[in-house]
């Protein structure tokens, strides 16, 4: 069993503007760096053995700040916890995206489906759990994974059978979500929602 704590990256200027980032590599702003330090504070009372991150700069920098605050080694980068590819929707304001496409489930040219995001994220979490067990080999270990709102949302949706997060729930920048991973199984323990 591995405790997986998923952290959403800190704020970027595009988050602030409500612009869709997707795979566009946007850096943290100063508020985002503070979000990372706040997340580290929330994680400080639990032992963590390693930290993993999406390779996108906003997640990687969040993970580096958390690692530094908690005294962990540099984050291991995992491509498949990167944000959803939004295709032609990348860079659009959320309001314009919803006006043009109707909702988040609508097909968008060049975009990844939510199902595809969930599939790759689940495989990545399984691989992270296996890798962390190989590296530290205790009976139970705890790792941090810094990812993106779309990835975390897809995992919560999958493990809750589609009941969470509710429509309109926002996963805040720097929010912390805990899962338990066993071979072939992922279970939600706790999630932070800002409504």
What positions carry a catalytic annotation?
9, 83
What are residue 191's phi and psi, to 5 degrees? Answer: -140, 150
Environment class of 155 (CB within 10 Å of its CB; exposed 0-12, middle 13-18, buried 19+): buried
Q: How far is Cα 40 from Cα 37, in angstroms, rounded to an integer? A: 5
Q: Contacts for 107-112 with beta carbons within 8 Å, 24 or more apart? A: 110/85, 110/86, 111/22, 111/84, 111/85, 111/86, 111/87, 112/84, 112/85, 112/86, 112/87
> Using an 8 Å Cβ cutoff, are 85 and 23 in contact?
yes
Instruction: Give the E-state strand segments of 45-175 in sequence order.
Output: 50-53, 76-77, 141-147
The number of helices, as runs of H, and strands, as runs of E, in the chain is: 6, 6
Q: Report the phi/psi class of residue 11: left, alpha or beta, with left for phi > 0 and alpha for psi in -120 to 50.
A: beta
């Amino acid at each position: 069993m591995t405790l997986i704590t998923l952290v959403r990256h800190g704020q970027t200027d595009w988050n602030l503007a409500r612009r869709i980032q997707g795979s566009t590599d946007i850096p943290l702003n100063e508020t985002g760096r503070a979000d990372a330090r706040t997340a580290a504070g929330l994680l400080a009372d639990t032992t963590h053995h390693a930290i993993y991150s999406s390779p996108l700069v906003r997640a990687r920098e969040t993970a580096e700040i958390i690692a530094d605050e908690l005294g962990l080694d540099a984050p291991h980068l995992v491509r498949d916890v990167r944000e959803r590819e939004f295709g032609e929707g990348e860079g659009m304001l959320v309001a314009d995206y919803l006006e043009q496409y109707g909702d988040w489930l609508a097909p968008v040219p060049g975009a990844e489906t939510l199902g595809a995001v969930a599939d790759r994220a689940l495989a990545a979490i399984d691989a992270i759990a296996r890798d962390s067990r190989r590296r530290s080999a205790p009976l139970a270990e705890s790792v941090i994974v810094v990812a993106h709102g779309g990835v975390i949302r897809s995992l919560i949706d999958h493990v809750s059978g589609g009941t969470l997060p509710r429509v309109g729930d926002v996963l805040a920048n720097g929010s912390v979500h805990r899962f338990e991973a066993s071979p072939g199984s992922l279970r939600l323990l706790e999630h932070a929602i800002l409504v």
